[in-house]
């Protein structure tokens, strides 16, 4: 009888040694991490590795994956709308909703991760940071300014990024902090079309931040 310590899902050891580096991972040797010497007339060496992973592109890819699922579900909604089976239509609407919700939340996390990855490259003046704290500046404005300084972005692109981040955060807040109160009806098409454009921008921004954050 198998014991509680048995792990049937773990593949058997195949003798592979060393460190396996996945796509997007970073490897570094910290100060003092490489030691080469002699002991008893024999070579004695050791190395310590630090690893890291750029998260913005991963979250952006998750957002796009869920967006693709939402687009497929939307086509199913359009087909079901022309039919007579309410159960099929209801299931398609829920599928579109859940995929869209996961996509917008992942997009918001991608932007937050991008902000954290590149903030050190933005060279923010202390006076600006103090102004943000004193005025309680909206987070989307802070994130947009950090991205503008870190890349840097042309004025017209900076305006678009700021507007997109604001919408991403607005929809994410609706998904995460949605109350029980009722609201007026909202047209599906404009919201969906805006969201699709936002995700394209999110993927581009997050991918660039992943490359920039990799620079020592």
**pLDDT-based confidence at residue 213 (cuts at 50, 70, 90):** very low
**pLDDT-based confidence at residue 134 (cuts at 50, 70, 90):** very high
28-66 tens-digit pLDDT: 888 988 888 887 788 888 888 888 888 888 888 898 899
Is 80 exceeded by the pLDDT of residue 177? Answer: no
What local confidence, expressed as pLDDT, does residue 9 receive?
62
What local confidence, expressed as pLDDT, does residue 17 receive?
66
Q: Could you give the C-alpha distances from 136 to 69, 127, 129, in angstroms and in order?
A: 37, 14, 10
**pLDDT-based confidence at residue 208 (cuts at 50, 70, 90):** very low
Q: Read out DSSP for 69-108? A: HHHHHHHHHHHHHTSS-HHHHHHHHHHHHHHHHHHHHHHH
**Burial class (CB within 10 angstroms; exposed 0-12, middle 13-18, buried 19+) of 132:** middle
Is 70 exceeded by the pLDDT of residue 19? Answer: yes
Domain chopping of the chain, boundaries: 55-213
Is 90 exceeded by the pLDDT of residue 131? Answer: yes
Q: Is the bond leading into 33 cis (omega within 30 degrees of zero)?
A: no
- In this prediction, residues 114-127 reach a mean pLDDT of 89
Is 60 exceeded by the pLDDT of residue 135? Answer: yes
The predicted model scores a pTM of 0.71
Is 60 exceeded by the pLDDT of residue 79? Answer: yes
What local confidence, expressed as pLDDT, does residue 206 receive?
45
Q: Could you give the C-alpha distances from 155 to 8, 19, 124, in angstroms and in order?
A: 56, 44, 18
């Amino acid at each position: 009888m198998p014991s509680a310590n048995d792990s049937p899902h773990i593949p058997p050891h195949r003798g592979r040694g060393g460190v396996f580096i996945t796509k997007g991972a970073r490897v570094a040797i910290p100060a003092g991490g490489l030691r080469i010497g002699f002991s008893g007339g024999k070579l004695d060496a050791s190395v310590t590795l630090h690893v890291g992973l750029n998260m913005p592109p991963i979250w952006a890819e998750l957002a796009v994956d869920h967006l693709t699922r939402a687009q497929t579900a939307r086509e199913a909604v359009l087909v079901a709308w022309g039919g007579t089976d309410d159960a099929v239509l209801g299931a398609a609407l829920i599928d579109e909703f859940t995929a869209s919700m996961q996509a917008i939340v992942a997009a918001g996390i991608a932007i937050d991760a991008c902000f954290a990855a590149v903030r050190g490259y933005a060279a923010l003046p202390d006076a600006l940071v103090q102004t943000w704290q004193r005025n309680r500046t909206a987070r989307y404005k802070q994130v947009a300014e950090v991205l503008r300084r870190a890349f840097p972005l042309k004025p017209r692109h900076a305006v678009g990024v700021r507007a997109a981040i604001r919408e991403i955060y607005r929809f994410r807040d609706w998904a995460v902090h949605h109350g029980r109160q009722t609201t007026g009806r909202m047209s599906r098409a404009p919201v969906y079309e805006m969201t699709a454009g936002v995700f394209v921008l999110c993927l581009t921004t997050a991918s660039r931040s992943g490359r920039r954050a990799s620079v020592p």
